[in-house]
């Protein structure tokens, strides 16, 4: 099964030294299922190219890789009017 989501969002972060964690969940009738997560540094100096990372278990960027990946483009800026 290939799930494709075309979602855009703008988030405010007070400090950029804490990484962004994106989690993917499967919504079920009785109990939601954790599918995996990716951890992003999203430093304002990072390039804005499309990136693809494998989903991982909980525990940060060194956690065991799970099946599946997520593709994304992060635009991070110190200036809100730039976005």
Domain contains 63: yes
Q: What pLDDT is stored for residue 83 in this prediction?
A: 60
Q: How many domains, the chain?
A: 1
Q: Tell me the per-residue pLDDT of 43-74, one tens digit each, with 9 for 90 and over.
A: 777 777 888 888 899 887 788 988 888 888 87
Domain contains 80: no
Residue 51: phi, psi to the nearest 5? -120, 155
Domain contains 9: no
For residue 14, give the nearest of 56, 81, 83, 76 by alpha carbon: 76
Domain boundaries, position 29: 20-73
Q: Tell me the per-residue pLDDT of 19-50, one tens digit each, with 9 for 90 and over.
A: 888 898 988 999 999 989 998 877 777 777 88
The predicted model scores a pTM of 0.72
Domain contains 81: no
How far is 10 from 49, CA to CA, in rounded Å? 17
Decide: 35 and 52 in contact? Cβ < 8 Å.
no
Burial of 38 (0-12, 13-18, 19+ CB in 10 A): buried
């Amino acid at each position: 099964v290939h799930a494709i989501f075309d979602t855009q969002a703008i988030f405010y972060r007070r400090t950029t030294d804490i990484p962004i964690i994106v989690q993917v969940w499967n919504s079920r009738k009785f109990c939601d299922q954790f599918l995996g997560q990716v951890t992003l540094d999203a430093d304002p100096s990072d390039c804005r190219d499309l990136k693809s990372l494998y989903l991982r278990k909980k525990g940060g960027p060194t956690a065991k890789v799970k099946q599946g990946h997520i593709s994304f483009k992060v635009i991070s800026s110190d200036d809100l009017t730039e976005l």
